[in-house]
């Protein structure tokens, strides 16, 4: 049984479908990346999985439980955390307070347990520890992205969904972000990654899917996608080779 499985999911914002019957799976312990051009339906896929959008048809199963149409609060309590594009740091809160917000759907949690989880989050992102009591808005873009991911981890997710975590970041910070994603998986959290930087995403992924105008056109391990001429031309900037 897959950790997450979509079967024939259709969804949209207006009368036009942004997703057209997509089916995909994420196995426990994997990093799976979802690639495609702007407007292909990647963000819509994550929003539909996490309950921010309701599917028009199809099935979404998480740990074998049907979650299509469930509320976002109910879904995150099951262990599925969504870090949306744009970081969304609350300017009136400190870095520590922003991160702690991620635990809000866990109910009444003993303070000692929250402190341990917060310490673990700072262990993954040591660069932001010294800013723990600083306003979140004062951090750089890369540091704010670290805060956003740390906040997602405070929900103790079985599956962490990341939407464009490298967007707008300097190349050296992008490399750090992807190393951290690999580390998060190594610590036991499964990852579903939406990313424009296809080369970096495929460098850490176990499998990938390519979306085009709401339809999945190809899937497979990174080597298969890197060797696909259509994928190379459209999303990878021409000829590349797998390392």
Q: What is the CATH number of the domain that holds 173?
A: 3.40.50.300
Give the global pTM: 0.89
Cα gap 86→141, rounded to integer Å? 10
Q: Which of 139, 202, 207 is nearest to 173 (CA)?
A: 139
Residues 123 and 67 in one domain: no
pLDDT in tens, 60-71: 999 999 999 999
Q: Which residue(s) pair with 35 in the sheet?
A: 210
Residues 10 and 112 in one domain: no
pLDDT in tens, 97-109: 999 998 888 778 7
In whole angstroms, how far apart are CA 154 and each of 77, 131, 138, 188, 219? 12, 18, 21, 14, 31
pLDDT in tens, 207-224: 999 999 999 999 999 999
Q: How many domains does the chain have?
A: 2
> Which 3 state secondary structure label does DSSP give 4?
strand
In whole angstroms, how far apart are CA 150 and each of 3, 8, 91, 123, 219? 22, 32, 16, 10, 29
86 domain residue, yes or no: no
Residues 104 and 184 in one domain: no
Residues 19 and 66 in one domain: yes
Question: For 182, phi and psi rounded to 5 degrees?
Answer: -60, -40
Tell me: pLDDT of 236 over 70.
Answer: no
Residues 57 and 98 in one domain: no
């Amino acid at each position: 049984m897959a950790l997450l499985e979509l079967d024939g999911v259709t969804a949209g914002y207006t009368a036009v479908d942004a997703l057209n019957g997509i089916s995909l799976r994420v196995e426990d312990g994997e990093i799976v990346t979802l690639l495609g051009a702007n407007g292909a339906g990647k963000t819509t896929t994550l929003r539909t999985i996490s309950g921010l959008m309701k599917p028009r048809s199809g099935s979404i199963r998480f740990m074998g439980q049907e979650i299509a149409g469930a509320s976002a609060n109910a879904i995150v309590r099951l262990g599925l955390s969504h870090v949306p594009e744009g970081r969304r740091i609350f300017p009136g809160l400190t870095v520590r307070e922003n991160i702690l917000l991620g635990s809000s759907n866990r109910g009444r949690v003993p303070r000692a347990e929250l402190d341990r989880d917060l310490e673990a989050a700072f262990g993954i992102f040591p660069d932001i520890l010294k800013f723990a009591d600083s306003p979140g808005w004062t951090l750089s873009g890369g540091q704010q992205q670290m805060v956003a991911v740390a906040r997602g981890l405070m929900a103790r997710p079985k599956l962490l969904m990341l939407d464009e975590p490298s967007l707008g970041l300097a190349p050296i910070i992008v490399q750090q972000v992807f190393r951290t994603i690999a580390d998060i998986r190594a610590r036991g959290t499964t990852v579903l990654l939406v990313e424009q930087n296809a080369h970096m995403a495929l460098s850490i992924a176990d499998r990938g899917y390519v979306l085009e105008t709401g339809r999945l056109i190809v899937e497979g391990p990174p080597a298969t996608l890197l060797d696909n001429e259509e994928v190379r031309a459209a999303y990878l900037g021409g000829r590349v080779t797998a390392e």
